[in-house]
Structure formats: C-alpha cells, structure tokens
Structure 1
C-alpha cells in the first residue's frame, strides 16, 4: 500500500520512525514534509499536500491512505479534512483507529506525536492501515450524507426536518 505522511515539527521524530517501520513492513511511503526541524513551521500545507495525494491516488484506483502528525493531531486532522472528499480521523487508541476505517472509511489518520510513545503510535497507525471498510449499508448511507453536504450544502430531507431544542438556564 502507498502511504502518504506529513507532520509538523512536533511530529517529525515520530514521522521518521513511522517511515522506517512502515517501509520495513512493506508499505511504500511518500513523505510530504517537512524535511527538517523548524519550530515555527506551519503544518497545514504539509497535511493538505498529503491528503491531496491520497485523494489523487485513490481516484486512479491505487490502494493509498495517509497519516498526518502533530503535537495533538487536532490541527493536522482539521487541515486534511479541508480537502474535498477526504475523511481524516483523529485516532488515540486501537479502537478509534479501527473504527475510523470500519465505519467511516477514513482515508487519513491523525495522531498526536506528543500523546503517545513511538511504539503506541505505530500500533495505532498499523491498526488503521490494516483495517478494511466494512461496507455496511448504514455506513455507506452516512458517508453519502456527509459527501452530499460537502458538495451541496444540504442533506436532502434531513436538515430542514431538524428543529433545534432550547433548554433555558436553570436558576436564571
């Protein structure tokens, strides 16, 4: 499998470790940067480039997924999710990594480099890479609704039917 990886300065050591371990496991790694440590670097361009590459590979029928890393993984996940058609999931344990693939068919996993040891992060990433999408109808339907909103700004028959409920503050 081709795996696109990107990080910021906080995940650089983890990124290098994952590249080494995942290539040894037989994956083709494409590193979208950064190439060197810079405490003031900006992660969005790196993460967006990785997500764009995942999307392009998948559109060509290639088996490709992505990894984005940072101190927490939050900003990196947000950046990757801005690429149309990409679903990036923040994974913090084996279950969240597997469920991101099983239920959401996520193509990119985000991991916090300051939240896990290298070995823990490798296990999370490996769980993500190894888990297939279930293909269950309910998950396909929900992913379709997300894609519909992404392209049209609505979810047919859903948003209009949802009336918000207001709960007044107590003791006011």
Structure 2
C-alpha cells in the first residue's frame, strides 16, 4: 500500500517517526509531502497536497499530523472524495475504517504520544471496510451530500 503523509510544524516530529514505522515495521511505501522542518507553516497546504494524492489514486491512503489533528481533518474534509477521521484511540481508528471507509487519518502530535500513534496507524492501515449493506448505504449518502454541494461550472 502507498501511504502519503503530511504535517505542519506542530506534527513534524511525529510525522518523521511515523514514516519510519510505516515503511520499516509495516512494509508500506510512504510519500512525504512535508513539511520538512519544525518552522511554522500553514497546515491546509499540506492537507491539500496529501489529499490530492489520495483523490488521484497516486496514494491509497493518507495520514495528516498537526498539533491536535483538528485543523488537518477540517481542511481534508473540504476536499471531494476525502473521508478523513481524527483518531486519538485504537477503537476509533478501527471503527472509522470498518464503518466509514476513511481514506485519510488525522492525528494530533500534542494529543497522542508516538507509541499510541503507531498503534493507531497500524490498526487503521490493517483494518478493512466492512462491506455490510448498512455501512455501504451510509457512505453513499455521504457522497450524495458531497455531490449536492459541489460547485458546477
């Protein structure tokens, strides 16, 4: 699986740790869209870059990290086709894949430590979407809402 990862300055350190973990421990390919240092940057830029790779199919899933994960998740969910969830625990990480078929995960470096973050990422990457009719129907309703608000030129 190819995973794109992006962070702002508030998530830089955790992003660096997660990159190594995803590649070396989990065996996935990682594309890093930045940021490349702990200097102040704007999180929407990195959410946009990472989510574009998920939307285009260049990456299978995306992970976004900022101080709390909140800003990244808000920015990501503005993009069509993105279902981003903020997770601070393993139960939510599993549920968001099984029930919501999320394709982007947001994490907060100031909220979860590296050990928990790695466990959340592992579970999120290894959990499949439950193909049950009720979950599929709900995802379709989300897509209908998204489509109804799309701006058509």
Confirm or deny a common fold (TM above 0.5). yes
User: Which protein has greater RCO, CA pairs closer than 8 Å, 6+ apart?
Assistant: 2
1:118-155 Cα deviation digits (max 9, x unpaired): 111010111110100001111111111110111124xx
Query: Is this contact kept in 2: 1:32–1:47, CA < 8 A?
Result: no
Uncovered stretches (5+) of structure 1, i.e. residues with no partner: 154-172
CA distance in 2, matches of 1:96, 1:110: 12
TM, length-normalised to structure 2: 0.93
TM, length-normalised to structure 1: 0.83
- How many corresponding residue pairs? 149
Determine if the alignment matches structure 1 residue 120 to structure 2 residue 116.
yes
Point out the structure with max Rg over C-alpha.
1
Uncovered stretches (5+) of structure 2, i.e. residues with no partner: none
Other-structure match for 2:33: 32
Query: Is this contact kept in 2: 1:48–1:82, CA < 8 A?
Result: no
CA distance in 1, matches of 2:13, 2:36: 11
Secondary structure of 2:27's match? Answer: coil
Residue correspondence of structure 1 range 10-159 to structure 2 within 5 A: 10-24=10-24, 25-39=26-40, 41-57=41-57, 64-153=60-149
Aligned-pair distance for 1:82? 1.1
Secondary structure of 2:64's match? Answer: strand
Secondary structure of 1:89's match? Answer: strand
CA distance in 2, matches of 1:47, 1:86: 11
Aligned-pair distance for 1:20? 0.8
